Amino acid sequence: MRYVALVLVALAMLGTGGLVWLGWYPAIRPVQPPARTSFPAASIERGARLAALGNCMSCHTAAGGAAFAGGRPLQTPFGTIYASNITPDPESGIGAWSLAAFVRALRQGVDRRGQQLYPAFPYDHFTKLTAADDADLYAFLMTRGAVRAGKPGNELSFPFDHRFLIAGWKLLFFRAAPFRPDPARDAQWNRGAYLVQGLAHCGACHTPRNLLGAEEAGHMLSGGEVEGWYAYAVNGASPAPVPWSADSLYAFLRHGWQPQHGDALGPMREVTDELAGAPDDDLRAIAVYIASGLGKGAMRPVPAPIAAPASSGETLYQGACADCHEKRGGPPFAGIDLARSSATHAPNAIDLANIITGGIPASGEERAPIMPGFGVVLTGRQTTELIAWLRARFGAAHPRDGIAEAVQAARAKTGQLEAAR
């Protein structure tokens, strides 16, 4: 018995030692923050557009905080990780990082000091970036205003708070490799593939993750959960009742809204807001690539609403939802016909519960969609009944279970939001 224990201890020590050895990287010498004049203006401009495609700002900016100064919490199943400050402040940001240090972080997930980075930073995608794009992004970030801002320590459960384990995670799930174009496809498709798989890191939300938080290799873009939202499948498993096309995808990414599909909501809203700074050609390329993965699909007719059994959910729908969603109010206040909504047809009720409970808050002075939240007046039970009826009427193919849990989570989340105000 004692022998077995000794062997186990020895193995554990060997394993730990192995990981520490594997995961060891040297620090890269700090540099003086490079002067703005050391970067060509064109490179900075290209970097700005790349940063918009990469959605850098929304993760690296805290609510009400300075742009790129970090501190935004990312909830993961393993705990909370706070985004780093990526302004060129030499102490708290990346001001002392050379281009080589920046590239190592993007491609290998290791910071300037040689510390392993959690894959919440999607280097599993950024590893595909070209050297030219790396340099342009560097030029853009190093010419932002330097902001001194520390970030709270990560709140991760044991053993995930030990960074040396990331070396093991990488061994299992991470391959540092550049993007390989498909010679059988045209340049636009390949540009889209490069962006989707790399910089735009669509899979970080839209691909399901395994128990250790790695994207499941065989299920690219088949739908994932992030920060309490469900990111719909954008491959052949797309739940959209109106099939997406390259044109409608482009319009959705360009405007954050598409008449047949509705609005970008939750975390996707942040993405489309940031994509406002991305070039048209790139959004078209992304749309073409994604559309090619949706399969032929043909134009299915939008399923007609079916007669759902009468319930209090129908009463709530008629009183609270129908005026907008059946366009009785007329434009400009006209919600999407719920027969066309991906949320009503999704494999779970997570997003429906979020939207009904929290609404779609107005966003500053921008012209943008808005919907009142019903968490104030509906109880959890009433919300559950409403969702069950909506899904029975508009998205009949899907199971009814899990609704109460989704509603409970949505209500807890809105409660937290109100407390934080």
Partner 1 sequence: MILNINGQQQTVDADPDTPLLYVLRGELGLNGAKYGCGLGQCGACTVLVDNRAAFSCITPVAVLADKRIVTLEGLGSADNPGPLQHAFIEEQAAQCGYCTAGMIMRAEGLLRRNNQPAEAEIRAAMQPNLCRCGTHMRILRAVRRAAAVIRKNAEAGQ
Interface contacts to partner 1, rule CB under 8 A: 312, 314-320, 323-324, 329, 333, 362, 370-372, 374, 376-379, 382, 421
Q: How far is the CB of 386 from partner 1 (least distance, A)?
A: 10
In a 10 Å sphere around its CB, with 0-12 CB exposed, 13-18 middle and 19+ buried, how is residue 224 labelled?
A: buried
Q: How far is the CB of 320 from partner 1 (least distance, A)?
A: 5
* C-beta closer to partner 1: residue 23 or 335: 335
* C-beta closer to partner 1: residue 22 or 370: 370
* C-beta closer to partner 1: residue 148 or 327: 327
Q: How far is the CB of 82 from partner 1 (least distance, A)?
A: 23
* C-beta closer to partner 1: residue 21 or 333: 333
Q: What is the DSSP letter of 340?
A: G
Asked whether 208 and 304 are in contact (CB, 8 A), the reply is no
Which residue has 């557009």 as its token pair? 49
Give the C-alpha separation, 372 to 210, whole Å.
35
* C-beta closer to partner 1: residue 245 or 363: 363
* C-beta closer to partner 1: residue 210 or 312: 312
In a 10 Å sphere around its CB, with 0-12 CB exposed, 13-18 middle and 19+ buried, how is residue 363 labelled?
A: middle
Give the C-alpha separation, 349 to 75, whole Å.
20
State the alpha helices, DSSP H only, in 305-394: 312-316, 322-325, 342-345, 350-358, 380-394
Structural tokens at position 101: 């240090």
Q: How far is the CB of 323 from partner 1 (least distance, A)?
A: 6
Give the C-alpha separation, 78 to 81, whole Å.
9
Contacts made by residues 377-384, CB under 8 angstroms, sequence distance 24+: 378/316, 378/320, 380/404, 380/407, 380/408, 380/411, 382/312, 382/316, 383/353, 383/356, 383/357, 383/407, 383/410, 383/411
Q: What are the CA-CA distances from residue 210 to residues 61, 84, 175, 320, 349 (Å)?
A: 27, 25, 16, 38, 21
The strand pairing partners of 75, in sequence order, are: 80
* C-beta closer to partner 1: residue 59 or 387: 387
Q: How far is the CB of 408 from partner 1 (least distance, A)?
A: 18
Q: How far is the CB of 309 from partner 1 (least distance, A)?
A: 16
Q: How far is the CB of 380 from partner 1 (least distance, A)?
A: 12
Q: How far is the CB of 264 from partner 1 (least distance, A)?
A: 19
Give the C-alpha separation, 408 to 383, whole Å.
10
* C-beta closer to partner 1: residue 17 or 415: 415
* C-beta closer to partner 1: residue 276 or 376: 376
* C-beta closer to partner 1: residue 216 or 323: 323
Select from 72, 76, 40, 75 the least CA-distant residue to 58: 72
C-alpha Rg value of the chain to the nearest Å = 23
Give the C-alpha separation, 251 to 241, whole Å.
17
Q: How far is the CB of 348 from partner 1 (least distance, A)?
A: 24
Select from 353, 348, 354 the least CA-distant residue to 269: 354
Q: How far is the CB of 421 from partner 1 (least distance, A)?
A: 5
Structural tokens at position 49: 């557009």
